[in-house]
Structure 1
Amino acid sequence: MDPKVVFETDRLIVRDWAEDDGDRVFDIYRRWEVSRWLGADPRVMTDRGAADRTIKRWNERNQDAVFGIWAVEEKASGTVAGTVLLVPLPEPAGAPSRGEVEVGWHFHPDAWGRGLATESARGAISRGFRSGVSEIYAVVRPDNAASLAVCRRLQMRSLGLTSRWYGAELESFVI
């Protein structure tokens, strides 16, 4: 069965993950140049089986009508360039939910510098707004120049540094 298409842009198909995407997921997240920006304690994916488990977990999350963690496939080549996500931001332990929503992106280095992160994030933001989300945040490590540039291209407003999410000091943006 083909994975469900979530939305399309001029160059991209954003869809649920397919079982045969495992090699690409592993190739993306085994790389320090990608994984170094993710989470409070960044680490690379160390075994191919972890990619299959990750795909399963993401697709379980993708059952939500609005939110998900999706594959970004290039129409021209059929190659999965990376991941785009639209998810509720996690609240610190014990804090009441504020319902804040995050847009994020993780791309293979062979997809960097071509505007694919911006294009897919713009589509995810549009999806969120059409679904009734009123504000969407991005959180980025302060030294991640490429993702900071994506936030600027998306015309997100900087809110400055915060340690509220993910147990790390991050630049926060909102649109």
Structure 2
Amino acid sequence: MVYIETARLRLRSWQDTDLPLLQRLNANRQVRQFFPSILSHQRTAKVFTPMKAYLETHHIGLFAVELKATKEWIGLIGLNYLPKTNDYPFRDLPFYEIGWRLMPDVWNNGIATEGAIAVLNYAQQQGIEEVYAIAAEQNLASIRVMEKIGMTRYDKFENRHLGLQHPLKRQVRYHIDLTKSQQSS
């Protein structure tokens, strides 16, 4: 099912044929440079089915992204629901976090920004009032996307799941109030 279309993108539900593509994305060191590690094919397969089912059930989540012109799968963009749990250092849980992960050959073309704006508009239509985004402080490209889509820096924190000396331990969180904003593509 196609949920969102933009000038260049189609954000859709997951198909079983997407699994090997997602495994390749998650095993790419360049794509995962601001994550603690790459994901094994087994770990990606383990999260694929629940991710696919969540989107099918709730019609919100992480969408498979393809180029409209070629139907080439290029990654994922969407919302991840963070429940109230002790796994995160935030007092304002639960909330939705927007994120994107794209193949390097489509970077620096405005695709993350275009898709993220469309996801925020879709979230607003679904009645979601606010969205956050999280990135390592060094992930300047993602931070630029957050700012381009109208998000503002909300706070910073240390990811307690990473070691004391881990280079990605310091992270930033951005926020947008969808009741006060209207994204445009």
- The two structures have a TM-score, normalised by structure 2, of 0.80
Aligned-pair identity (%): 24
Q: Which secondary structure does the structure 1 equivalent of 2:58 belong to?
A: coil
Unpaired runs of 5+ in structure 1? none
Q: Which secondary structure does the structure 1 equivalent of 2:130 belong to?
A: coil
CA deviation digits over 1:72-97, x for unaligned, max 9?
Answer: 11011111111112122244418887
Unpaired runs of 5+ in structure 2? 163-168, 177-185
Map 1:1-175 to 2 at 5 A. Answer: 4-38=1-35, 42-47=36-41, 50-93=43-86, 98-163=93-158, 168-175=169-176
Q: Where do 4+ consecutive residues of structure 1 move more than 2 Å?
A: 49-55, 63-67, 89-92, 94-99, 162-169
In 1: Cα distance, 2:12 partner to 2:59 partner: 13
Over 3 Å counting, the alpha-carbon distance change for 1:98 and 1:173 in structure 2 is: same
Deviates more, 1:91-100 or 1:151-160: 91-100
Amino acid at match of 1:44: I
- The two structures have a TM-score, normalised by structure 1, of 0.84
Over 3 Å counting, the alpha-carbon distance change for 1:160 and 1:34 in structure 2 is: same
Q: Which secondary structure does the structure 2 equivalent of 1:105 belong to?
A: strand
